[in-house]
Amino acid sequence: MQFMCLIYSTEGTGPQPGTPEFGPFMKGYQDFTQKVKDEGKLVAGDALQAVSTATTVTVRDGKTETMDGPFAETKEQLGGYYLLDCADLDEALKYAALIPTADYGRIEVRPIVVWDN
């Protein structure tokens, strides 16, 4: 099964660039990515640019509306994701807990829909 691990945190919290904590934090991400790669779990994974770069598109009655900003203002924003191939939810949760942002943000784990043809 594939599980999407959505990484949420409040922008500006956690280790910031230029602080002594930032290096080890990024190293944690490198190590995690390497680990899931080595263990054959990684399908994909990326970080997203800050929510200030978000643009929201809506199509209503054939008309496209483009708006600056995220679709909803929330305290915690989606900052990145890992798509992992795991045996079951327990395994996915075990990996999710190793994502560095889990220490101060939240990781939402959701399975990918498999369309039944």
Partner 1 sequence: MPPPALTQAAIETVVRKDWGRILAALVKSLGDFQLAEDCLQDALVSALNHWARNGLPHAPDAWLITTARRKAIDRIRRRATHNTHAAELSYLADLANEPVEDVVIPDKRLEMIFTCCHPALARPAQVALTLRTLGGLTTDQIAHAFLAKPETMAQRLVRAKRKIAAAGIPYAVPDADHLPARIDAVLQVIYLIFNEGYAASSGAELMRAGLTQEAIHLARVVADLLPKAAEVRGLLALMLLHDARSAARAAPSGALIPLDAQDRRLWDRTKIAEGTAIISAALLEQRIGPYQLQAAISAAHANAPSWERTDWQDIAGLYGLLWKVQPTPVVQINRAIAVSYAQDPQAGLALLQQVRDDQIADYQPYHAAHADLLARVGDPVAAHTAYDRAIALSQNTQERDFLTARQSALGKTLH
Binding residues for partner 1 (CB under 8 A) = 1, 3, 86-90, 92-94, 110-111, 116
- In whole angstroms, the minimum distance from the beta carbon of 62 to partner 1 comes to 34
Give the SS3 label for residue 7. strand
Of 27 and 94, the one with the shorter C-beta distance to partner 1 is: 94
- In whole angstroms, the minimum distance from the beta carbon of 81 to partner 1 comes to 17
Q: What CA–CA distance (Å, rounded) separates 44 from 81?
A: 8
Of 78 and 109, the one with the shorter C-beta distance to partner 1 is: 109
Place of tokens 């890992």: 82
Q: How far is CA 92 from the centre of its chain?
A: 14
Ranges of beta strands (E only) in 10-117 are 42-47, 55-60, 63-68, 77-85, 106-111
Q: With 0-12 CB in 10 A as exposed, 13-18 as middle and 19+ as buried, what is 8?
A: middle
Of 7 and 86, the one with the shorter C-beta distance to partner 1 is: 86
- In whole angstroms, the minimum distance from the beta carbon of 82 to partner 1 comes to 16
Partners of 83 in beta bridges? 4, 44
- In whole angstroms, the minimum distance from the beta carbon of 91 to partner 1 comes to 8
Of 72 and 113, the one with the shorter C-beta distance to partner 1 is: 113
